[in-house]
């Protein structure tokens, strides 16, 4: 009898421990997410009766509308030491930062925010004529401290995710960019180890081919950076961000003849 009781005790204890380990440690922040999402849903569902135009005798709702959709993908490295640390940062109110997706080193993808909602990931940024990047983009954070290569499982998961997002929202190939691209001089992520060329080969972002390229004598490299999308108000910062993306082995802020060939080819692709 004692053996049976001990067996029952250990089995029960094991179940309790297993359940404790499997509990979601983010139940509290998930409740906060759901509460806020419901509040926004309530606002969206309201008829636009209190509008700037109030002289109409009655309200007429259009039948032709849908949800606003993202048009850019912004890629980041987390600049933290673990995926768990990043998840805690993104569920702490005082941090005031977030992303739609976080990809851990083992390839696990955490979808933290509905794609149609606005994450706080781009900050003060600009790409082409677009200045409110957060309102038109999906932010993807990849677990990486900024000084190390990305893992194969991470890149494989990223490519799969980007494929789904590109298809779902018809995101143009050129609109897959990095945080450093949209915030030159302020951000450097994803770092020099990020495989931009591999992404481009899979249809996410543009790349260059300088084979047979002849650069005109009057070629303006800074103009080319602006056409690609870079904010060139601080030219040296724009050059550095361009090099992080396209020439990661060169950390200078000087435009070389090789850079002119690359920029000339990219300018043609982005126009």
Q: Which residues contact 53 (CB under 8 A, 6 or more apart)?
A: none
Q: What are phi and psi of 248, to 5 degrees?
A: -65, -15
Dist. CA 260–CA 226, nearest whole Å: 14
DSSP, collapsed to helix, strand or coil, labels residue 130 as strand
- The catalytic site residues sit at 141
Strands 101-103 and 176-178: unpaired
Which tokens sit at 10? 């250990």
Task: Dump strand ranges (E) for 84-170.
Answer: 101-103, 109-111, 137-142
User: Rounded to 5 degrees, what angle do the CA atoms 185, 200, 224 make?
Assistant: 50
């Amino acid at each position: 009898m004692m053996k049976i009781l001990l067996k029952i005790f250990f089995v029960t204890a094991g179940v309790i421990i297993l359940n404790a380990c499997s509990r979601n440690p983010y139940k509290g922040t998930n409740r906060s997410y759901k509460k806020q999402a419901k509040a926004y849903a309530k606002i969206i569902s309201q008829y636009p009766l209190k509008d700037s135009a109030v002289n109409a005798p009655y309200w007429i709702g259009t039948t032709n509308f849908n949800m606003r959709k993202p048009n850019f993908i912004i890629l980041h490295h987390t600049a933290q030491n673990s995926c768990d640390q990043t998840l805690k940062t993104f569920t702490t109110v005082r941090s005031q930062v977030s992303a739609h997706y976080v990809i851990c080193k083992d390839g696990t993808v955490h979808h933290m925010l509905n794609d149609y909602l606005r994450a706080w990931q781009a900050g003060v940024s600009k790409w082409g004529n677009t200045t409110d990047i957060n309102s038109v983009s999906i932010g993807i954070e990849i677990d990486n401290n900024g000084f190390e290569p990305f893992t194969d499982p991470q890149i494989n998961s990223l490519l799969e995710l980007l494929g789904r997002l590109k298809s779902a929202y018809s995101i143009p190939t050129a609109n897959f960019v990095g945080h450093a691209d949209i915030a030159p001089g302020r951000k450097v992520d994803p770092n020099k180890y990020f495989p931009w060329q591999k992404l481009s080969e899979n249809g996410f972002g543009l790349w260059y081919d300088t084979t047979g390229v002849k650069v005109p004598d009057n070629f303006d490299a800074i103009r080319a950076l602006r056409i690609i999308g870079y904010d060139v108000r601080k030219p040296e910062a724009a050059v550095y961000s361009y090099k992080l993306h396209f020439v990661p082995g060169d950390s200078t802020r000087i435009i070389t003849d090789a850079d002119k060939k690359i920029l000339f080819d990219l300018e043609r692709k982005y126009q």
